[in-house]
């Protein structure tokens, strides 16, 4: 951390907010008034408003032993943007609320905010407000994201139909493998003064865990191609959980194929090194923030032309249930074994 350490109490709540937000410039026309009054003021014309909230708690969602504060701020913002993109919308504003314990100095919170502001700059989102308070148990970050979409472009979880194709962007399991790697090196570093973590050749996995990106590019490509998904979610809790969410909301079943699940080479190597089941990690790991969506069967040729998207299966009638076809042709029921925030800590994702 920086040599200079300033106690937050010397600024007070409003002084801290002013210090962190004094030079923010608004970039969205829907942002009429940002930080500096009792409320932000926004105006949306001819579009539907989308709102998402996410909370991150130290010791549950992140470990500051190996998570840099700037990366944490970036990730906290991006995961909220991802929820808006998952509705086929565009994020426009966020509010940021923090509960801060006394072990954090002004310089620490500046690092956190630098990550939040970098994410806002890259994705064109305005930081328009928030709150700060004290905490007796570490750091808590709560972000609310506001976005918009034309009424006829919003995509819900509930629109999947029999014979629709199931698609995913990017690759799966990398973030979870990055977490396992970070946890392994944390254990290995215990009691060692000059420990050097073994991350060589695994940088992609670390980046997917510490600095995920929301798939704005996929939303833009689908729009350019004239493809509107029938249902969509972002993969935050694991492919198995998100598939079941879509099937439940749409009252349908599904079939996906094990050999079609997109997995990066580094992810496969890491699973082998840790003696873990690769497909289980890809299905249940979570925090990939890729997009899972369905499209009508007749759009198969159009979707094949788009880079970074893979068709992994199809929607069925509800009585057929949710299953994966294994490489040897057997059917395996898909169970929601991903992240459950009310029942598990981050280390308890199924192996």
Select 157-190+203-336's CATH number: 3.90.650.10, 3.40.250.10, 3.20.20.80, 3.30.2290.10: 3.90.650.10
Span 8-149: which CATH code?
Answer: 3.30.1330.10
| C-alpha distances in Å from residue 14, one per residue of 39, 125, 130, 132 | 14, 23, 11, 9
Tell me, what's the pLDDT at 341?
54
The angle formed by the CA atoms of residues 128, 131 and 135, to the nearest 5 degrees, is 150
d(CA 324, CA 218): 25
Instruction: Work out the angle between the directed axes of helices 174-189 and 265-273 (0-180°, nearest 10).
Output: 40
Strands 331-333 and 322-325 come out as antiparallel
How many CB atoms are located within 10 Å of the residue 251 CB?
Answer: 11
Would you list the domain boundaries of the chain? 8-149, 157-190+203-336
CB 334 within 8 A of CB 253: no
- Distance from the Cα of residue 103 to its chain's centroid: 27
Tell me, what's the pLDDT at 1?
45
CB 95 within 8 A of CB 128: yes
Q: What is the pLDDT along the chain (351 residues), one digit of tens a residue?
A: 446 787 766 665 556 666 666 777 888 888 887 776 678 898 998 899 999 999 999 999 999 999 999 999 999 999 999 999 999 999 999 999 999 999 999 999 999 999 999 999 999 999 998 888 999 889 999 999 999 999 999 999 999 999 999 999 999 999 999 999 999 999 988 878 778 788 899 999 999 999 999 999 999 999 999 999 999 999 999 999 999 999 999 999 999 999 999 999 999 999 999 999 999 999 999 999 999 999 999 999 999 999 999 999 999 999 999 999 999 999 999 987 655 555 544 443 333
Closest CA to 290 of 189, 195, 202, 217: 217
Largest CA distance in the chain: 65
């Amino acid at each position: 951390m920086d040599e200079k350490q300033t106690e937050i109490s010397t600024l007070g709540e409003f002084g801290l907010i002013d210090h962190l937000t004094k030079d923010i410039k608004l970039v969205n026309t829907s942002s009429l008034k940002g930080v500096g009054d009792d409320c932000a003021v926004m105006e949306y014309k001819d579009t539907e408003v989308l709102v998402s909230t996410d909370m991150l708690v130290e010791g549950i969602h992140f470990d500051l032993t190996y998570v840099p504060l700037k990366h944490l701020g970036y990730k906290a913002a991006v995961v909220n943007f991802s929820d808006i993109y998952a509705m086929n919308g565009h994020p426009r504003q966020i509010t940021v609320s923090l509960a801060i314990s006394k072990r954090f100095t002004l310089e620490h919170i500046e690092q956190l905010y630098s990550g939040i502001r970098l994410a806002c700059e890259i994705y064109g989102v305005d930081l328009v407000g928030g709150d700060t308070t004290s905490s007796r148990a570490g750091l808590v970050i709560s972000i609310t994201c506001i976005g918009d979409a034309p009424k006829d472009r919003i995509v819900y979880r509930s629109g999947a139909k029999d014979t629709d194709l199931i698609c995913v962007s990017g690759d799966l399991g990398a973030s979870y493998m990055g977490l396992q790697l970070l946890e392994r090196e944390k254990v290995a570093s215990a009691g060692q003064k000059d420990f050097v973590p073994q991350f060589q050749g695994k940088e992609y996995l670390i980046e997917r865990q510490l600095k995920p990106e929301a798939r704005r590019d996929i939303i833009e490509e689908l729009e350019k191609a004239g493809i509107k998904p029938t249902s969509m979610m972002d993969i935050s809790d694991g492919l198995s959980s998100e598939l079941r969410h879509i099937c439940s909301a749409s009252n349908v079943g599904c079939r996906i194929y094990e050999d079609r699940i997109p997995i990066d080479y580094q992810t496969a190597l890491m699973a082998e090194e840790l003696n873990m089941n690769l497909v289980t990690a890809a299905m249940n790991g979570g925090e990939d923030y890729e997009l899972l969506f369905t499209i009508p069967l007749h759009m198969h040729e159009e979707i094949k032309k788009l880079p970074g998207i893979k068709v992994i299966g199809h929607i069925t009638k509800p009585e057929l249930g949710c299953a994966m076809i294994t490489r040897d042709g057997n059917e395996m029921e898909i169970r929601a074994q991903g992240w459950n925030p009310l029942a598990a800590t981050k280390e308890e994702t199924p192996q």
